[in-house]
Amino acid sequence: MAELSAESGIPVATIKYYLREGLLPPGERTSPNQARYGEGHVQRLKLVRALIEVGGLSVATVREVVRAVDDGTATHNVLGTAQRALAAPSPEVGEEDREWALGVLTELSAKHGWKFGPGHEVAPALIAAVCTIRALGHDALLERLDDYADIADQVAVVDLDTVNVQQSLDRIVEAAVVGTVLGDRMFEGLRRLAQAAESRRRYPTYRMPLSLQPPSA
Amino acid sequence: MAELSAESGIPVATIKYYLREGLLPPGERTSPNQARYGEGHVQRLKLVRALIEVGGLSVATVREVVRAVDDGTATHNVLGTAQRALAAPSPEVGEEDREWALGVLTELSAKHGWKFGPGHEVAPALIAAVCTIRALGHDALLERLDDYADIADQVAVVDLDTVNVQQSLDRIVEAAVVGTVLGDRMFEGLRRLAQAAESRRRYPTYRMPLSLQPPSA
């Protein structure tokens, strides 16, 4: 285990914690207090730590995700399995709000050739997001849903390109997980930089004096 | 407070918790055990709950964010203030990794007209994300950084459009916060739907048999 720690750069105490929590399969026991760990353990350790520390996932979610990665040899919907485990818990919304959101999202999905319905794994998160945005009165954001959907279509093509070039089936599933969790974090960062640049273009003084507020103000 | 609860749909216990944590300003005291709350309290309550329950932010982060919203009348960089409070804590990376990531991100930013440097508020999160993606061996994702940056530029234009149409300065800051936190969640959901659709286009059987793996496998 000391070698595994040296190889991965992860403290022994953290490795023991991951083992206890079932995030890392046990090594091959060679004596009562010795076990052998392989290259797979190093890769898995890095993945688990990345999901927790960079992806911000809970231990329980990571447990589901690594299970999905390990079940990756199942022939059906390997990418979907990993993604389902990543869906965050979402607050409940009222029945009327829910119906409205389902209508909006179903229409949007039909236009973009997406499969969507109330039972879809991302439905709770998406419904909660659009209902909350509406409840806060930021309808301007919702009016551009179709533009966001167009951009999501472009992102998805690049996402799938990067998953596609991986070699083996378990690597494909792992790439989908990394792309989903870390890719989201990376894209959020790029979006912040681009927003700041766009903000400077529109408000060149880096301030927003009253005179630059929209005419409706 | 009972009326505030009825108006906002948020339980009295939750409102008391938000007051104690400084997420909501106290009402105007009218008697020893009565206080008056206004429309601003209702809107603030909805914002706080949205950031915690849908945005997944911690109480400490929300406290910083509402402070940024309340300081919104300061003339400089109102959008940046709110965004800085939203930057998630990121794990440290090694010195060599950090230098490499800074080089990659600086070059990318120069190409896209973004301001970026080691002191930028999103630098820790972005550096952690690209270093972790590299450490996990998913270089395919990094090779497409420029494509992701192109798409981030498009998203930012729509983002700023939706912020721009808000009426008052505090609403502009609030819209930036909502757009940043809830807009990210919403876009993640759309991206999942688009990925699934793209995945079905490439792997029409909804399975990924060995014969469909890339030729390099």
DSSP per position, B62-85: HHHHHHHHHGGGSSB-HHHHHHHH
Q: How far apart, in Å, do the first and last CA atoms of chain A sit?
A: 64
Antiparallel, parallel or unpaired: β B28-31 and B34-36: antiparallel
User: What would the two tokens of residue B195 be?
Assistant: 């990925």
Q: Is the dihedral of CA B116, B119, B120, B126 positive or negative?
A: positive
Distance CA B44, CA B74 (A): 19
Q: Is the pTM of this model over 0.80?
A: no
| Tokens, residue B173 | 């800051």
Helix (H) or strand (E) holding A36: strand A34-36
Q: State the residue for tokens 């949007």.
A: A108
Would the CB atoms of A126 and B152 count as touching at under 8 Å?
no
The single residue listed with the structure tokens 């930089």 is A193
Helix and strand numbers (H, E) in chain B are 10, 2
φ and ψ at residue A207, rounded to 5 degrees: -125, 170
Decide if pLDDT at A101 tops 60.
Answer: yes
Coil, strand or helix at A125: helix
Rounded to the nearest 10°, the torsion over CA A50, A54, A55, A56 is 110
User: Residue A175: is its pLDDT beyond 50?
Assistant: yes
B60: exposed, middle or buried (Cβ count in 10 Å: 0-12, 13-18, 19+): exposed
Q: Which residue has the higher pLDDT, A172 or B80?
A: A172
Q: What is the rounded CA–CA span in Å between residue A191 and residue A42?
A: 32
Which of B84, B186, B211 to mutate against chain A (most A CBs within 10 Å)? B186
Instruction: Please state the domain extents for chain B.
Output: 1-54, 76-203
Tell me the nearest-neighbour CA distance from A208 into chain B, angstroms: 6
| Cα B105 → chain centroid | 20
For tokens 């216990």, the residue is: B13
B125 contacts A188? CB cut-off 8 A: yes
- Count contacts between A and B (CB, < 8 Å): 304
A41-50, A89-98, B25-34, B144-153, range with the lowest pLDDT: A89-98
Q: Which two tokens stand for residue B25?
A: 């300003």
Q: What is the pLDDT of residues A21-39, one digit of tens each?
A: 999 988 888 888 888 888 8
Question: Best of B42, B78, B132 to disrupt the A interface by mutation (most A CBs within 10 Å)?
Answer: B132
Chain A residues near residue B213 by CB distance under 8 angstroms: 167-169, 172
- Quick one: pLDDT at residue B165? 59
For residue A34, the distance in angstroms to the closest alpha carbon of chain B comes to 27
Minimal Cα–Cα distance from A27 to chain B, Å?
21
Residues of chain B in contact with residue A194, where contact means CB-CB under 8 angstroms, are: 112, 114, 149, 152-153, 155-156
- For the record, the structure tokens of A36 come out as 């052998």
ipTM over 0.95: no
pLDDT for position A189: 85
Write down the pLDDT at residue A104: 96
Determine the Cα–Cα distance for residues B26 and A131; give it in Å rounded to an integer.
27
Rounded-to-integer distance, Cα B187 and Cα A146, Å? 11
Q: What CA–CA distances, in Å, run from B65 to A179, B60, B80, B100, B174?
A: 28, 9, 11, 32, 9
Task: Give the Cα separation of B194 and A80 in Å (integer).
Answer: 12
The tens-digit pLDDT sequence of chain B (217 residues) is 888 888 888 889 999 999 999 999 888 888 888 888 888 888 888 888 887 877 777 788 788 778 777 765 443 344 555 555 555 556 678 899 999 999 999 999 999 999 899 988 788 888 988 988 888 888 888 999 999 999 999 999 998 888 765 556 666 667 777 777 788 888 888 988 898 888 788 876 544 433 333 333 3
Residues 6 or more apart in contact with residue B63 via CB below 8 angstroms: B21, B22, B23
- Phi and psi based region of residue B143 (left: phi greater than 0; alpha: psi -120 to 50; beta: remaining): alpha
CA distance B45 to chain A (A): 10
- CA geometry: angle B141, A55, A104, nearest 5 deg: 85
Test B54 with A90 for CB contact under 8 angstroms.
yes
Q: Which of A92, A191, A210 to mutate to test the interface with B (most CBs of B within 10 A)?
A: A191
* DSSP secondary structure letter of residue B191: H
Amino acid at B212: L
